[in-house]
Amino acid sequence: MNTKIKSGLIALAVAAAAVTTLNFDAKSVNKNKVTGLTYRYQLNTVSGAKDPANWILVSNSSPSCGTSGEVPCKVHFDTSSYSDITNYLSQFSTDEQVSSGPGVITKE
C-alpha cells in the first residue's frame, strides 16, 4: 500500500474514534442529568397525603403555600432520589409523616 493511503486510513480511523468517544460522552451526560420535580397537594387536610392521586405535578414557579402549618402544600425532590410522587410517598407509613418529610412545604 502506498504510504499516503496508509496515513489517510490511520487519520480516518483516529477521527472516527474521536467522534464516537465524544458522542458517547455527550449521551452519558444527558442520561445522568438530575431533574427536580415539584408536586402540589390538592386537599386541605392531612388525611390523604400518602395517596399519590392527591398530588399534581407543577412547575417550580407554582404559587406560594402561605403560612406554614400541618397540612402538606407541595414537595420538591430530585429524580436522583425519587422517580416520581408514588416513589417519594412510599417511604412514609402514615399521612402525618408526609407533612414532615424531606422537601415538603406545609400550609395551614
Shared domain for 51 and 2, answered yes or no, is no
pLDDT, residue 67, reads 80
Q: What is the pLDDT along the chain (108 residues), one digit of tens a residue?
A: 577 666 666 666 666 666 566 555 555 555 667 789 999 999 999 999 999 999 999 987 666 887 888 899 999 999 999 999 999 999 999 999 999 999 999 986
Shared domain for 89 and 43, answered yes or no, is yes
Copy the grid coordinates of residue 66: 402561605
Phi, psi of 91 (to 5 degrees): -80, -10
The residue type found at 7 is S
Sheet containing 36-41, strands listed edge to edge, beginning at the edge strand earlier in sequence: 55-58, 36-41, 71-78, 104-107
The model scores a pTM over 0.75: no
Q: Cα(24)–Cα(81) distance, rounded to whole angstroms?
A: 25
pLDDT, residue 34, reads 75
Shared domain for 45 and 74, answered yes or no, is yes
Shared domain for 89 and 75, answered yes or no, is yes
- Residue for cell digits 400518602? 50
pLDDT, residue 17, reads 65
